[in-house]
Chain A
Amino acid sequence: MSGFLTLLKRDLLLALREGGALGTALGFYLIVVTLMPLGLGPDLNLLTRIAPGILWVALLLAALLSLPRLFEADHDDGSLDVLALGHMPLELVAASKALAHWISTGIPLALMAPILGILLNLEARAYPLVIATMLAGTPAISFLGAIGAALTLKTRRGGLLLALLVLPFYVPTLIFGITSISAALLSPAGFQASFLILTAISLVSLVLGPVAAAAALRQHMQ
């Protein structure tokens, strides 16, 4: 367990020191959200209605942008091979990397969403809902994304391929993230069911992601 925490701390420190990845993701998020009203027209009522959806879709795209780097640096400099030889199971290594990605990218993106909500004239009562669903849903994005990042580690044109592989896996998270917001806006009672399923999907991905990612990483090592 201490190995897990050490690795997590190391990855978070790296993300913090580098800084570039997070800045790119946040900047991309801002750009995509800005482009939407330009494409759809400045009708504020329309924007209010579709704001949660735009915020969620743009968040998926922004998170996707930083996924290829999940294992890349460690693979290039050989530290992944060292980690694979160590006594810590590769599943835990993958889990720690995905967790670091969630903390360093998922949480900042989720916290930035309400600020971008202002641009989209998001309803006042939707702000806490957007943050809550994104915090509950983004672990799935990081942990399922780890599968794609591990699979595309040695491929040509990895980034585009990663999007194709991973986006279908994000469908449940997107659907339940949006339905819990819209259900809550209609009636407070409807929120709980969707939100619990959203959390359940994140919990499932917490198991599936590291296991599949480690399986994919092992094939690279052989």
Chain B
Amino acid sequence: MTTDAATQTWTQRLANPTRFMALSGQILPWLTIAAIAVVLYGLYLTFFVAPPDYQQGETVKIMFIHVPSAWLAMMGYLMIAISSFGLLVFRHPLADVSAKSAAPIGAAFTLLALITGSLWGKPMWGTYWVWDARLTSVLILFFLYLGLMALRSSLEDETLAAKQTAVLGLAGVVILPIIKFSVDWWNTLHQPASVVKIDGPAIHSSILVPLVVNAVGFSLLFFALHMKAMRNEVLRRRVKALRMAEVEQAARGRDTSSATAG
């Protein structure tokens, strides 16, 4: 097993859940520490260093968490999509664990992107919700996350649930760009030029640095949460397998004891 490890790719090596547990057990504490440290440094930069934006004033501070949340909302879906592909095409044993664990975390970041976005919109646009292209497409992304979780929870057979969710996840990837593009197009027809963009080419470094630090920090946090969720899921499956084994043992024990008695 150890001799052919050199010829395997890292995804193949991780296919063994025991090896994944050992490796992630070593990585996770450091990842968590790194995530917390970078997030705290980002918060320090946000509240004590970054100057108010000349256009948005102090509300630019909301952007420092809104933009990473929105970015991670999309990355979470990308992760589900890659995992779904890994499950359906390569039958990778950990792919479904990854897809299942990423869904609630991605949904949480999508929700945060929506909440912080509307809290930014109220002082800037004068309303909590605008049917703006970005808001609308993030809302639809949120529905897709809900759909993935609902579909999984409604199928009792876990293997079937994993595969069906993967099919939906991949179909969602195909349709997401179309939805995004249609929403953009729909919005420009109805209310042009209402989108205040923070990501212009001329973004000042005093704003950009805290933004990047926060993005890195929250990404590390995402990976740490995802890894922890995956470890929980592996344990959950072990518990389930052991319970099944226990029931089988009990059944077999009864059979043999009744056979010897009779």
Chain A positions near chain B (C-beta within 8 angstroms): 144, 147, 151-152, 154-158, 161, 164-165, 167-169, 171-172, 175-176, 179, 182-183, 197, 201, 204, 208, 212, 215-216, 219-220
Chain B positions near chain A (C-beta within 8 angstroms): 88, 140, 143-144, 146-147, 150-151, 154-155, 157, 160, 163-164, 167-168, 170-172, 174-175, 178-179, 181-183, 185-186, 189
Taking a contact as CB atoms under 8 Å apart, the answer to whether B160 and A147 are in contact is no
CA distance A208 to B168 in the complex (A): 12
CA distance A212 to B167 in the complex (A): 7
Given contact pairs A164-B143, A169-B171, enumerate 7 new A-B contacts (beta carbons under 8 Å): A155-B151, A155-B155, A179-B185, A179-B189, A204-B178, A208-B171, A219-B164
Contact of A176 (CB < 8 Å), options: B146, B171, B182: B182
Taking a contact as CB atoms under 8 Å apart, the answer to whether B186 and A147 are in contact is no
Q: Is the interface of B mostly helix, strand, loop or mixed?
A: helix
Chain B residue with Cβ nearest A200? B178
21 A-B pairs in the complex with CB atoms less than 8 angstroms apart:
A144-B175, A151-B167, A154-B160, A155-B151, A157-B154, A158-B154, A161-B150, A168-B140, A168-B143, A168-B179, A169-B175, A172-B182, A179-B185, A197-B182, A201-B178, A208-B171, A208-B174, A215-B88, A216-B167, A219-B163, A219-B167
If A155-B155, A164-B147, A219-B163 touch, whether A212 touches B171 (CB-CB below 8 Å) is: yes
Taking a contact as CB atoms under 8 Å apart, the answer to whether B164 and A151 are in contact is yes
Contact of B150 (CB < 8 Å), options: A164, A167, A204, A220: A164
CA distance A166 to B42 in the complex (A): 39
